[in-house]
Amino acid sequence: MMSPLLGVLGGMGPAATADFLAKLAAHTPATRDQEHIATIVYSDPTTPDRSDAILADGEDPLPAMFRGIAFLDEAGCDLIAIPCNTAHHWYDDLAAATTVPVVHIVDAVAAQVERDAPDATTLGLMATDGTVRSGIYEKVLAQSGKRVIDLTDLGPDNPVMAGIRAVKAGSLDGARDILSNAARELLGRGADGIIYGCTDVSAVLGLPPDGIDAPAWDAAEALAIACVNRIRG
C-alpha cells in the first residue's frame, strides 16, 4: 500500500522550500529511507511576489498558486503544505480550490507558542511587510490573548525586510547578522519571544538566534512538525 503523500507548494522562495524539506526529514521518526514521508514538491519561483500583491497592487500570485495546488491535487496528495507565510493571506482561496487538506502555517506556530509559553503576552514577528499587513498572525494569536509587534514602522529601514532580501539574493551570512539584530530590536521593544514568520528567516536563523536568550518559534519547523503529526497520525 502506498504511504500517505505530502504535497508541497513551494518556490516562494527556493531556499525556504529546501529548508522546509530538511526540517521535514529531521522531524520524521525514521531509521531508514523507507520510513520517511513520501513527498511531491511543486516549486515555481516565478510566482509573483506576494508582498507586492498585498501592499502595492502588484501582480496577483493566485493563478500561479492555483496551478500548483491543481498539480498536487491531481498527483494524489493526501495533505498539502505551503512553506510561505505570506501566501497564507490567500489560504481560504487555496484551501477551497482542492479537496485535499491544507495545513495552516500560522495555526501550527500558534499551537507551539501556546504549548511552550502560554503566559507570553507580546510576541515579536519577523515577517514580510505583506504578512504583517495581512494580519494573519495577529488574528490567530489574539485568540489566546497575545499581542504581536513588528518593525514595519521603520519603513525602508526595516531590518527584517533587508534580511529577507539578503536571503533571496543568496547572501546568507549577511542575512543572518541583519536578522539577529532585528530579533534583538524586537526584544528591546518588549517582546517576550520571537516568531520567525517568514520561511526565508527560518532558512538562516537557528532557535533561538545566536546570542539571544529568549524563546523563539520557527514557522517552517512548526509546519514540518504539523505535517509529520498529521500524516503519521
Q: How far apart are CA 45 and CA 202, in angstroms?
A: 18
Q: Are residues 85 and 24 in the same domain?
A: yes
Q: Which domain holds residue 62?
A: 5-104+222-232
> Per the structure, how many domains does the chain have?
2
Exactly one of 167, 198, 225, 228 is catalytic; name it.
Answer: 198
Exactly one of 84, 106, 132, 205 is catalytic; name it.
Answer: 84
Q: Are residues 172 and 227 in the same domain?
A: no
Over range 132-152, report the average pLDDT. Answer: 96
> Is the per-residue pLDDT at 1 higher than 60?
no
Q: Are residues 123 and 212 in the same domain?
A: yes
Confidence band of 212 (pLDDT split at 50, 70, 90): confident
pLDDT score at 3: 83
Active site residue 77: no
What is the domain-level CATH number for residue 69? 3.40.50.1860
Q: Are residues 110 and 99 in the same domain?
A: no
Over range 2-21, report the average pLDDT. Answer: 93
Q: Is 201 left (phi over 0), alpha (psi -120 to 50) or beta?
A: alpha
**pTM reported for the whole predicted model:** 0.95
Q: Are residues 143 and 168 in the same domain?
A: yes
pLDDT score at 146: 96
Residue 76 CB-density burial (10 A; 0-12 exposed, 13-18 middle, 19+ buried): exposed
Q: Are residues 113 and 207 in the same domain?
A: yes
Strand partners, 193: 123
Q: How far apart are CA 159 and CA 179, in angstroms?
A: 7
> Is the per-residue pLDDT at 211 higher than 90?
no
pLDDT score at 6: 98
Q: Is 185 left (phi over 0), alpha (psi -120 to 50) or beta?
A: alpha
Active site residue 227: no
Residue 150 cell numbers, joined? 513588528
Task: Write out the chain in H/E/C secondary structure.
Answer: CCCCEEEEEECCCHHHHHHHHHHHHHCCCCCCHHHCCEEEEEECCCCCCHHHHHHCCCCCCHHHHHHHHHHHHHCCCCEEECCCCHHHHHHHHHHHCCCCCECCHHHHHHHHHHHHCCCCCEEEEECCHHHHHHCHHHHHHHCCCCEEECCHHHHHHCHHHHHHHHHHCCCHHHHHHHHHHHHHHHHHCCCCEEEECCHHHHCCCCCCCCCCCCCEEEHHHHHHHHHHHHHHC
Q: Are residues 115 and 13 in the same domain?
A: no
pLDDT score at 10: 97
Over range 90-119, report the average pLDDT. Answer: 97
Half-sphere exposure of 108 (CA within 13 A, CB side): 26
> Is the per-residue pLDDT at 15 higher than 60?
yes
> Is the per-residue pLDDT at 133 higher than 80?
yes
Q: How much of the chain exceeds pLDDT 90, in percent?
A: 94
Q: Are residues 179 and 113 in the same domain?
A: yes
Q: Are residues 57 and 19 in the same domain?
A: yes
pLDDT score at 209: 85
Sheet holding 38-43, edge to edge: 38-43, 5-10, 79-81
Q: Are residues 118 and 205 in the same domain?
A: yes
Q: Are residues 39 and 141 in the same domain?
A: no
> Is the per-residue pLDDT at 228 higher than 80?
yes
Q: Is 181 left (phi over 0), alpha (psi -120 to 50) or beta?
A: alpha
pLDDT score at 213: 87
